[in-house]
Amino acid sequence: MTQQQALEILKTGANVFLTGAAGSGKTHVLNEYIRFLRERRVSVGITASTGIAATHIGGLTIHSWAGIGIARELSDDAIAQIAEFPRVAKRMRATEVLILDEISMLDANRLDLVDRVARYVRGSFEPFGGIQVVLCGDFFQLPPVADTQGAEPEFAYHAHAWEEADLCVCYLHERFRHEDEEFYAILDAIRNASADEHIRNLLLATADAPHVPTAKLYSHNVNVDRENARKLAELPGAFKTFHMNSYGAKKVAEALTQSCLAPELLELKKGAAVMFVKNNFEEGYVNGTLGTVEGFNEMGWPLVRTRTGNALTAAPMEWSVLNEQGKPIAGIKQVPLRLAWAITIHKSQGMTLDEAQIDLSQAFEPGMGYVALSRVRTYAGLRITGLNDTALRVHTGTLQHDTLFKKESDTVEAEYIRTPREDILRRQSAFLKRIGAGAPKKQKRNALEETRELVLLEHTIAEMARMRDLKEATILSHIEDLKISDPELDIRYLKDAIHPKKFDEIAAAFLQTGRNEKGVYPLAPVMDLLDDAYSYPELRLVRLFLG
């Protein structure tokens, strides 16, 4: 299923399980749907199964949102007590759509608890009290954490609420993060539980790669802390310290502080390897962008040179939790960086990295190897320094259910394709009317955002330039910036603007001339190699697809 098909199904009000391999654009679809709802003043609850995942999408943990805390089981009396909490009751009654991200890490019992609380608060026997539920995630990622007694938790698809919600499965089959077929094959082999000695040897062969990636991923915190402290201490000069500030509801702010990837106390020096931990499309970085601190500006903020050569200022940014009306109830502010010589695999979930050195010798749970490997865009960006048997395993039962999910998604997609467009629009209109949606608000958008909207509508570069009274070169610059900030943005339709033979010839020329010291494919050497046979816009268009 494509991203656009999934988005159109979401807009009909169906309960949805949105899934797909790493890099297939699940978060992109969620963000588009959230944007759609907020423009129409629809009350949407944005949640995730973990604190880190919640900060990525600007929401609460599902445990906090539903008032269930850490409990796995609650009596009817306990459910009634939770329903009396004013904050829980108010937001559940107001919520029309509930987003729950990283569903793989929420166990079945807790999903059932959320369902029970929602039904009780809203006084409805419908699943989740009649709220549209959007569950998002990939069960090949990290599983639910066992409790202190060691009881093995069940995946969310075993919950009674899962079955009763009658979820439409939207399995995204496109991939936007990874850029080479060899790497596809490795990741697919792990997902299919067919990773053999050949796959193991391919991974271990990366240990001899001449280039040592800046970022290192470990399975345990102790290795990460030791590596970052050692590397920072080796740098000359004094520390520059940045303190996190908070506002709003104290407990919510404290939860944000604990789950945010930016540390409460950030210590940097010139030369420190750092990673941006928040998306900022306008400034040109995303969660996972790597770089080196080159100094500090007159305001004291870090000046970072990214691995692609871009010079960025890491000014403080805000992480906030919004209520169902989109207004902040608490927030924190910090420079959006963390030391990036090392990071844990758990904390890397949701990131996109150009390269990483990964130690899987102490992987301790199924899915950990897949999570770590799938953070990286290409096989060339990998360096595996250790690998145990657990690293290449997936959780028991996941493969069987994944096959069922694909079949269910195929059925949903076929039904969508058969349904006349006017019927789909009628369902979407009826859903918006039922939940009391307003007319779309007119948003002030910057130049990049306007181009992005036109790309999503699959306008050609010439059409976008004409519609906005801009030069085609300017539109190309916008798309280049958009692909840096949102690698999952689907621009494949733009390939149709150039003949396949021309595309292949230009692409081969880029590969022959290679990247410069900043990791960028320069245009001039390709123009010289091809004897000016093609225009600069044609070269730039092809370069968009080379990563």
pLDDT digits (tens, 9 = 90+) for 523-542: 888 888 888 888 888 899 99
Q: What is d(CA 147, CA 145) in angstroms, rounded to the nearest whole number? A: 6
Residue 436's alpha-carbon distances to 96, 306, 322, 325, in angstroms, are 9, 45, 20, 13
pTM over 0.85: no
Same domain membership, residue 61 and residue 118: yes
Q: What number is the average pLDDT over the span 286-300? A: 86
Q: Which domain holds residue 484?
A: 443-490
Residue holding tokens 């990460």?
Answer: 224
pLDDT at 179: 56
Same domain membership, residue 183 and residue 170: no
265: which strand partners?
243
Q: What is d(CA 218, CA 190) in angstroms, rounded to the nearest whole number? A: 19
Whether residue 443 has pLDDT greater than 70: no
Indicate the Cα dihedral angle 502, 506, 511, 515, nearest 10°.
-150
Long-range contacts for 433-436 (Cβ within 8 Å, ≥24 apart)? Answer: 434/13, 435/13, 435/42, 435/96, 435/97, 435/132, 436/42, 436/96
Whether residue 180 has pLDDT greater than 90: no
Same domain membership, residue 341 and residue 298: yes
**Domains held by the chain: number:** 4
Same domain membership, residue 198 and residue 302: yes
The per-residue pLDDT of the chain, averaged, comes to: 87
pLDDT digits (tens, 9 = 90+) for 295-316: 999 999 999 998 777 889 999 9
- % the chain with pLDDT above 90: 41
pLDDT digits (tens, 9 = 90+) for 81-96: 888 888 888 889 999 9
pLDDT at 164: 96
pLDDT band at 68 (very low <50, low <70, confident <90, very high): confident
Strand order in the sheet with 290-296: 311-313, 302-306, 290-296, 273-276, 337-339
- Looking at residue 210, its amino acid is P
pLDDT digits (tens, 9 = 90+) for 250-261: 888 888 888 788
- % the chain with pLDDT above 70: 94
3-state secondary structure of 8: helix
**Residue 309 is assigned to a structural domain of this protein:** yes
Q: DSSP class of residue 362?
A: T
Q: What is d(CA 207, CA 361) in angstroms, rounded to the nearest whole number? A: 13
pLDDT digits (tens, 9 = 90+) for 346-358: 878 777 777 889 9
Same domain membership, residue 156 and residue 38: yes
Question: Is the Cβ–Cβ distance between 365 and 396 less than 8 Å?
Answer: no
Higher pLDDT, 71 or 105: 105
Higher pLDDT, 133 or 222: 133
CATH code (residue 127): 3.40.50.300
Would you put residue 126 in left (φ > 0), alpha (ψ -120 to 50) or beta?
beta
Q: What is d(CA 178, CA 374) in angstroms, rounded to the nearest whole number? A: 8
Whether residue 35 has pLDDT greater than 70: yes
**Residue 355 is assigned to a structural domain of this protein:** yes
Higher pLDDT, 209 or 508: 508
Same domain membership, residue 199 and residue 188: yes
Same domain membership, residue 117 and residue 18: yes
pLDDT at 340: 85
Same domain membership, residue 474 and residue 386: no
Whether residue 399 has pLDDT greater than 70: yes
**Residue 268 is assigned to a structural domain of this protein:** yes
**Residue 113 is assigned to a structural domain of this protein:** yes
pLDDT at 241: 95
**Residue 288 is assigned to a structural domain of this protein:** yes
Same domain membership, residue 167 and residue 64: yes
pLDDT at 528: 87
Same domain membership, residue 471 and residue 424: no
pLDDT at 444: 55
**Residue 358 is assigned to a structural domain of this protein:** yes
Same domain membership, residue 321 and residue 399: no
Structure tokens of 383? 């360096």
pLDDT at 98: 97
Q: What number is the average pLDDT over the span 472-498? A: 84
pLDDT at 362: 92
Same domain membership, residue 316 and residue 280: yes
Q: What number is the average pLDDT over the span 489-509? A: 87
Per-residue buried b or exposed e for 387-410, using 16+ beta carbons within 10 Å of the residue's own CB: beebbbbbbeebeeebeebbebbe
**Residue 94 is assigned to a structural domain of this protein:** yes
- Looking at residue 186, its amino acid is I
Backbone angles phi, psi at 321, to 5 degrees: -110, 125
3-state secondary structure of 336: coil
Which three-class secondary structure string do you get for 97-113? EEEEECHHHCEHHHHHH
Structure tokens of 367? 């899915």
**Residue 438 is assigned to a structural domain of this protein:** no
Q: How far is CA 398 from the centre of its chain?
A: 21
pLDDT digits (tens, 9 = 90+) for 357-385: 999 999 988 888 998 998 888 888 889 99
Would you put residue 129 in left (φ > 0), alpha (ψ -120 to 50) or beta?
left
Whether residue 425 has pLDDT greater than 90: yes
- Looking at residue 349, its amino acid is Q
